[in-house]
Amino acid sequence: MSRVAFAAPLPVAPRPQPDERLSSWLGRLARLYGMRIEAFLECCGLRRAVSDLEWRLWAGEGALLASRAGMTAEAVRALTFEEIAPHARLTVAARSRYACALCPTDVHRKAAALPWNFWCVEHGARFEPRAGRMLTSLLPGTQLAALDPAARLGARRMADWAQGADEPAPSVTDLLNFLTTRHRASSPPSLREQPVLSLEARRANHDFLTRPIARQALLVIVPEYDRVAPVLAKAVLPGIMALAEGSLLQSYALAVGVGRLTADPVGCAASALLASDQDGAERLRGVLRAWPPALRRRIAGRLAQLRDAQRAASAAAAAARTCRKRRQSHKFRFSQSHNPARRVS
Ligand SMILES: [Zn+2]
Count CA atoms within 13 Å of residue 171 on its CB side: 15
- Structure confidence at residue 317 (pLDDT): 84
The answer as to whether 171 is a domain residue is: yes
Q: How far apart are CA 236 and CA 245, in angstroms?
A: 9
User: 284 and 154, same structural domain?
Assistant: yes
- Map residue 247 onto helix, strand or coil: coil
pLDDT tens-place string over residues 216-263: 999 999 999 999 998 889 999 999 999 999 999 999 999 999 999 999
147 CA to centre of ligand 1 in angstroms: 22
Where helices occur in 182-292 by DSSP H, the ranges are 199-204, 206-210, 218-221, 223-228, 240-245, 248-263, 265-274, 278-288
- 67, pLDDT greater than 70: yes
Q: Of 23, 150, 162, 155, nearest to 91 (Cα)?
A: 162
> Is the pLDDT score of 1 beyond 90?
no
- Do 168 and 40 belong to one domain? no
Q: What average pLDDT does range 2-19 have in this prediction?
A: 74
Note the pLDDT tens digit of each residue in 68-99.
999 999 999 999 999 999 999 999 999 899 99
Total structural domains within the chain: 2
Mean pLDDT of 280-299: 97
pLDDT surpassing 90 at residue 303 = yes
Same domain? For 67 and 173 the reply is: no
Task: Look at residues 51, 82, 113 and tell me which one is the last residue of a structural domain.
Answer: 82
User: Percent of the chain at pLDDT above 90?
Assistant: 69
Q: Does residue 111 lie within any of the structural domains?
A: no
Mean pLDDT of the chain: 90
Residues with CB under 5 A from ligand 1 (ion): 100, 102-103, 120, 122-123
Whether 176 and 272 share a structural domain: yes
Residue 344 pLDDT greater than 70, yes or no: no
Q: How far apart are CA 126 and CA 329, in angstroms?
A: 58
pTM, full prediction: 0.86
* 168 and 288 assigned to the same domain: yes
Residue 118 CA, ligand 1 centroid: distance in Å: 11
At residue 204, the pLDDT reads 81
Query: Cα(256) to centroid of ligand 1, in Å?
Result: 22
Per-residue DSSP letter, 91? G
Confidence band, pLDDT 50/70/90 cuts, at residue 3 = very low
CA distance 330 to 334: 6
Clarify whether residues 48 and 183 are in a common domain.
no
Do 154 and 296 belong to one domain?
yes
What Å distances lie between residue 145 and 148, 150, 152, 336, CA to CA?
5, 10, 11, 56
- What is the C-alpha to C-alpha distance for residues 203 and 200, in angstroms, rounded to an integer? 5
Q: Which residue(s) pair with 250 in the sheet?
A: none
Q: What is the distance between the alpha carbons of residues 156 and 280, in angstroms, rounded to a whole number?
A: 29
Domain, as residue range, for 289 = 150-300
